[in-house]
Amino acid sequence: MTIQGQAPWRVALGTWLLFYLSQHILLLVGLNAPDPLSRLYKRSFYRATWILTALDAGFFTAMPFKPAWLRHILSLVFSAYYLVFADSAEEKVRKTRSTISIEQMRTSWEKVHQNPILGFVSSLLRPRLSIHDIIHVDRPSYSSDLPHIEVYRYYSNTSATFADHDTILLQFPGGGFVSMPPPCHEDALAAWAKHTGFPVFSVNYKKAPEYPYPWPIDECFDLYISIIQSNGRVLGLSGEKSIQIIFIGDSAGGNITTAVTLKILAHNQQNPLDSPLPVPIGLILIYPALDFEMSCWMSPSQLSLIRAESNTALFRSSSLDSLWQTKDHLSHASPLSVVPDLEKKQSLWRRALGLKPTLKQRMADRAHPIRDQIQTKEAWATARLAMTSRMSFFNDRIITPDLMRAMAILYLGPHASPDFENDYLLSPVHAPEDLLAQFPKTYMMCGEKDPLVDDTVIFAGRIRQAKRKYRQDNPLDQDYPTHDGVRVKFLEGMSHAFLQMMPFLPEAHQATKTIGDWVIELANTSHHVKSDYHVAEIITSEKDMIHRRKQQLVKGLY
């Protein structure tokens, strides 16, 4: 016993409690500064970012420890500490990201892949697969001297049926162009393999800064050529059926997915006398990064495009209302706010005395949201000044300006002089209309609070405009689809990288299921179209034959 007659543990506990109270007294009495992000996200997503921030802080803290086994254990110990002390975790992560290195980026984003404890726990939550291995694909003959391409395979049905498939899902994984090989995406990949029943392939393309732009795009394009030339045999398929490929990419992988598609279309356009490369039957882009121009202000053409798209059924949603609010900077108490202002609460005295608001006050409160919505739409219709989503969501908890700058510098390399306005392989959002008009069906998913959400809205709008213009300029092209083939889904209250949060974000599972349904829909639609097209070839008239030959849609007919 101590002099005061108390056990040492009581003294220690009391001291700790007093210290905690002194540090959080303003929070306890409600006088703390407002958290600008707590109302920006859904509660579940905000909770998921809290967990990710604690893990990042823990892994950053454990990086200096050299024995790998000790580093793996301490990473989880420190993460548990930062789960309790969230403010310390945010400060640790903020300071680290301000001068982040490539090693720190890979440590942060490859936690499940690098830490065997997390990897084992994560594997228990995934569906069982019959095929889960790595293969190496040789480059085409024109680049045979370059290293082979590493591809991960995922398949859930019996191994005997694997080779018989003619529809595959080819994923180009995201990771800021610098990190995150396929094992970091296996929660989603395994779910898609189980849900769709199709073979899923994920490309472990070379990463920057060791392999800067345009290496990853060329590598993935070469893989596509090898798959088409072998009819899938390089992946372990039988090669007896015409292969149909669905592209899917998230974040930086969405950039590569789109760039490879543009490269395929450009190849067919530049070599009209050669056999055209088959185009993927569909693209699925998940929070894609499609524009390297990190400007603050939206151009008049971009504003006009978003206004036009906001009137279509495709974009009519509560999420677009939220996008309007982020662009209408003067409708809030602060011009920097991206969430609705809080309504004034009844005074403490009136609540303590049990006084209710008057009828006039209640009617005014009911009319307030309607009036604000009308004013927001009117302001949006005439606005000439609006910030990009990259600037509006400057304080995002997942993808910060520091990270975007670091990724861009590492991907472009030290000697690059990029043309952001015209290099559409780097910034696909600036692709020419004649290529966008030939795009396959494109389904896109993005969080409404994502700093990259403008890329999704603008790119979807540009595809729709390009296809609309082509139909107007070529009314006699009977084979051109009458629909635009673009679908966009926004996730309310979500930001970037939600597919990396599947273990602790329920909405991520629903998003994964939706993407799986898209894959099945694209595959079924393609099989139906191919069957109809085969019948049309048999019963086609002479006039239609000539038209098809001119369009190079029928080869060897004469």
pLDDT band of 548, cuts 50, 70, 90: very low
312 against 390, higher pLDDT: 390
What was the pLDDT predicted at 173?
Answer: 98
pLDDT band of 544, cuts 50, 70, 90: very low
Q: Are 399 and 452 in contact, with CB atoms under 8 Å apart?
A: yes
Q: Which CATH class is domain 130-296+400-543?
A: alpha beta
370-387 CB burial, b ≥16 within 10 A, e <16: eebeeebeebbeebeebb
What is the average per-residue pLDDT within 525-551? Answer: 46
pLDDT for 13 beyond 60:
yes
Q: Tokens 């994984």: give the residue.
A: 173
pLDDT band of 51, cuts 50, 70, 90: very high
CA distance 558 to 545: 10
544 against 479, higher pLDDT: 479
What was the pLDDT predicted at 299?
Answer: 77
CA dihedral 475, 480, 484, 485 (to 10 degrees): 170
Q: Tokens 């994502």: give the residue.
A: 450
CA distance 499 to 493: 14
Residues 6 or more apart in contact with residue 179 via CB below 8 angstroms: 105, 106, 109, 110, 207
3-state secondary structure of 348: helix
What is the average per-residue pLDDT within 192-204? Answer: 98
In this structure, of 246-250, 413-417, 421-425, the range with the lowest mean pLDDT score is 413-417
pTM comes to 0.84
pLDDT tens per residue, range 484-527: 899 999 999 999 999 999 999 999 999 999 999 999 999 998 76
pLDDT for 97 beyond 80:
yes
299 against 461, higher pLDDT: 461
pLDDT for 277 beyond 50:
yes
What was the pLDDT predicted at 558?
Answer: 37
What was the pLDDT predicted at 369?
Answer: 52
Mean pLDDT score across all residues of the chain: 84
What was the pLDDT predicted at 318?
Answer: 56
Residues 6 or more apart in contact with residue 367 via CB below 8 angstroms: none
pLDDT band of 468, cuts 50, 70, 90: very high
416-429 CB burial, b ≥16 within 10 A, e <16: eebeeeeebbbbbb
Q: Are 450 and 489 in contact, with CB atoms under 8 Å apart?
A: no
